[in-house]
């Protein structure tokens, strides 16, 4: 007889973990050790749930590389003792956080599901309960005695996404996230339906789970707009110790053809700064060289971000810069999918 899966619920902070003090009307952090009192439906799931809460809840706006490592280490320290993990964070930066953590994990063979909510768990119309319950159900789902999911995902409002494909698109609707360039991995309705062919395959049994904790955040996002000046581009590219730029271009990767613009970027690349071209569009892909306005970017060695999201491009830069990959190999490595974050 197979034992029940063990799931570790990790609360880092965020709206989902707040309850209302009705005497003061203020929101306060919820004690997750009393989870069953607040969400008694959990006893119906075919698993056991343990909880781990950060001593000081992290507001999602304060997320940084130190906290990314903290989250990864909690999973690393408990990896052998649990069959799956559900991580609760603030939704505002969840796409960034889950993407970075996904790159940090090598040979992941268990589900790591990020979720949160738009309303606190104690609110009358909260979306927290459904997001929490279904995330745990996904984390404990098994097929042929193996976990169905073996990657880092994000679950919100009835849909499971690959985390590094997501973007937060709405601050007010429950359907806060979208994955425009990759379909949902699962959808929750009357039944929980997995799209098995879309899931990443688990690593070979003999491979060892590893966590890469070296991240480099000396990077910047440069979003183009009509009328951007030479002085602005120069000032951004000239930031001290800068190692990487996510260049948000127009449409299919297009940028101004002004000579000064190309000269500045070319000099930056020659100095060792890695520039990744991503589209400003919510969906779609960069196709370097498709239009004349991106031919020069291709010529000077700008990295083709293809259909990667800005959030995932930031995460991948942090990870690869931390891995100290040589400049000659960096572009080639970035342009290949490592965790299913882009189409090859």
Look-up: residue for tokens 């690393």? 76
- Name the least confident of 9-13, 18-22, 167-171, 210-214: 18-22
126 is catalytic: no
Whether the model pTM is above 0.85: yes
Give the chain's mean pLDDT: 93
Cross-sheet strand order for the sheet of 274-279:
219-223, 244-249, 274-279, 303-304
CATH 3.40.50.1170 residue ranges of the chain are 6-211
3-state secondary structure of 60: helix
Q: Determine contact, residues 96/65, Cβ cutoff 8 Å.
A: no
CATH 3.40.50.40 residue ranges of the chain are 219-334
The residue from 15, 89, 166, 279 that is catalytic is: 15
Residue 111 buriedness (CB in 10 A; 0-12 / 13-18 / 19+): buried
Share of residues in the chain with pLDDT > 70 (%): 99
pLDDT reported for residue 2: 60
Q: Does the pLDDT of residue 199 top 90, yes or no?
A: yes
Confidence class for position 163, pLDDT limits 50, 70, 90: very high
Q: What is the mean pLDDT of residues 21-27?
A: 74
Question: Which residues are within 8 A (CB) of 339 and not within 5 positions of it... i.e. 6 or more apart?
Answer: 102, 103, 151, 152, 164, 200
State which CATH number among 3.40.50.300, 3.30.230.10, 3.20.20.140, 3.40.50.1170 fits the domain covering 6-211. 3.40.50.1170
Look-up: residue for tokens 């100095």? 271
Confidence class for position 318, pLDDT limits 50, 70, 90: very high
Question: Which residues are within 8 A (CB) of 230 and not within 5 positions of it... i.e. 6 or more apart?
Answer: 258, 260, 261, 264
pLDDT reported for residue 259: 95
pLDDT reported for residue 315: 98
Residue 260's CB is within 10 A of a number of other CB atoms, namely 12
Confidence class for position 67, pLDDT limits 50, 70, 90: very high
- Name the least confident of 67-71, 132-136, 267-271, 288-292: 288-292
Helix (H) or strand (E) holding 332: helix 327-334
Q: Determine contact, residues 118/109, Cβ cutoff 8 Å.
A: no
Look-up: residue for tokens 């899966």? 5
For the record, the structure tokens of 203 come out as 């690593």
Q: What is the mean pLDDT of residues 84-100?
A: 96
pLDDT reported for residue 285: 94
* Angstrom distances, CA of residue 265 to CA of 101, 110, 298, 333: 30, 41, 11, 20
Question: Which residues are within 8 A (CB) of 227 and not within 5 positions of it... i.e. 6 or more apart?
Answer: none
pLDDT reported for residue 273: 97
Can you list the positions of beta strands (E) in 196-339? 210-211, 219-223, 244-249, 274-279, 303-304
Q: Measure the CA–CA gap between 63 and 92, rounded to whole angstroms.
A: 10
- Name the least confident of 1-10, 15-24, 104-113: 15-24
Confidence class for position 321, pLDDT limits 50, 70, 90: very high
Q: Does the pLDDT of residue 19 top 80, yes or no?
A: no
Q: Determine contact, residues 88/16, Cβ cutoff 8 Å.
A: yes
State which CATH number among 3.30.70.360, 3.40.50.40, 3.40.50.1220, 3.30.479.30 fits the domain covering 219-334. 3.40.50.40
Q: Does the pLDDT of residue 268 top 80, yes or no?
A: yes
Residue range 239-267, pLDDT digits in tens? 999 999 999 999 999 999 999 999 999 99
End-to-end CA distance of the chain: 42
Q: Does the pLDDT of residue 1 top 50, yes or no?
A: no
């Amino acid at each position: 007889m197979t034992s029940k899966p063990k799931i570790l619920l990790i609360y880092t902070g965020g709206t989902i973990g707040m309850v209302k003090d009705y005497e003061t009307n203020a929101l306060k952090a919820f004690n997750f050790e009393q989870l069953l009192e607040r969400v008694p439906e959990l006893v119906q799931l075919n698993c056991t749930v343990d909880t781990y809460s950060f001593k000081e809840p992290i507001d999602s706006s304060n997320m940084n590389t130190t906290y990314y490592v903290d989250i990864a280490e909690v999973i690393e320290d408990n990896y052998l003792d649990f069959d799956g993990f559900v991580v609760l964070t603030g939704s505002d930066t969840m796409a960034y956080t889950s993407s970075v953590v996904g790159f940090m994990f090598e040979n992941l063979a268990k589900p790591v599901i990020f979720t949160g909510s738009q309303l606190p768990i104690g609110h009358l119309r909260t979306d927290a309960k459904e997001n929490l319950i279904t995330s745990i159900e996904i984390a404990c789902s098994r097929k042929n005695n193996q976990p169905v999911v073996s990657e880092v995902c994000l679950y919100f409002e009835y849909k499971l996404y690959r985390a590094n494909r997501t973007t937060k698109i709405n601050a007010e609707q429950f359907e806060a996230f979208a994955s425009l360039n990759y379909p949902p991995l699962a959808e929750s309705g009357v039944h929980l339906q997995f799209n098995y062919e879309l899931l990443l395959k688990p690593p070979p049994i003999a491979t060892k789970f590893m966590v890469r904790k070296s991240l480099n955040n000396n990077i910047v996002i440069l979003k183009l707009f009509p009328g951007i000046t030479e002085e602005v581009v120069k000032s951004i590219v000239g930031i001290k110790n800068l190692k990487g730029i996510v260049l948000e271009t127009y449409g299919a990767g297009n940028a101004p053809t002004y000579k000064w613009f190309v000269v500045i970027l070319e000099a930056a690349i020659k100095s060792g700064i890695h520039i990744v071209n991503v589209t400003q569009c919510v969906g779609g892909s960069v196709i370097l060289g498709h239009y004349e306005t991106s031919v020069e970017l291709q010529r000077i060695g700008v990295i083709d971000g293809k259909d990667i999201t800005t959030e995932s491009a930031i995460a991948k830069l942090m990870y690869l810069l931390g891995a100290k990959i040589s400049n000659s190999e960096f572009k080639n490595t970035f342009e290949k999918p490592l965790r299913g974050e882009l189409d090859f």
